[in-house]
Amino acid sequence: MVTDEKTKMTRKEYGKFPKHELISSHVCRRSYATNFYGEMPTSWLISITAHSTEKQFLEYVGKPAIDTAQQIAEFYAKLALQAKKEPQMQLLKKAN
């Protein structure tokens, strides 16, 4: 981006540049949100990325609302498996 000093207008300049000159902090924000979606609570990510609503956040990371429903179903499936898990006894010491 190049700013004209007289008009104070900013315009794109096309050409070959080192990658570090083209990357902005927005790339980090989006990558963070996308990579941690599903790994940490969505409410935390919404706070970190400063989105106003969950709908806005989901559009930002490219996840449809059905994805949230699927995550809820997986969560309850894991809970059901934990509830069915048989208690395991461990031998601590052999009696003489």
Rg (C-alpha) for the chain, rounded Å, is 24
Q: What is the pLDDT of residue 79?
A: 86
- Indicate the number of domains in the chain: 1
Q: 39 lies in which domain range?
A: 2-84
The answer as to whether 29 is a domain residue is yes
Q: What is the pLDDT of residue 24?
A: 79
The answer as to whether 26 is a domain residue is yes
Structure tokens at 68: 């949230």
What is the C-alpha separation between 53 and 46, in angstroms, rounded? 7
CA-nearest of 20, 17, 1 to 9 is 1
Asked if 63 and 53 touch (Cβ cutoff 8 Å), the reply is no
> CA separation (Å) from 16 to 2, 3, 21, 31?
14, 18, 10, 24
The answer as to whether 57 is a domain residue is yes
The answer as to whether 20 is a domain residue is yes
Instruction: Tell me the mean pLDDT per 10 residues along the chain, length 96.
Output: 83 85 83 89 92 91 78 86 77 78
pTM (2 d.p.): 0.52
Q: What is the pLDDT of residue 49?
A: 92
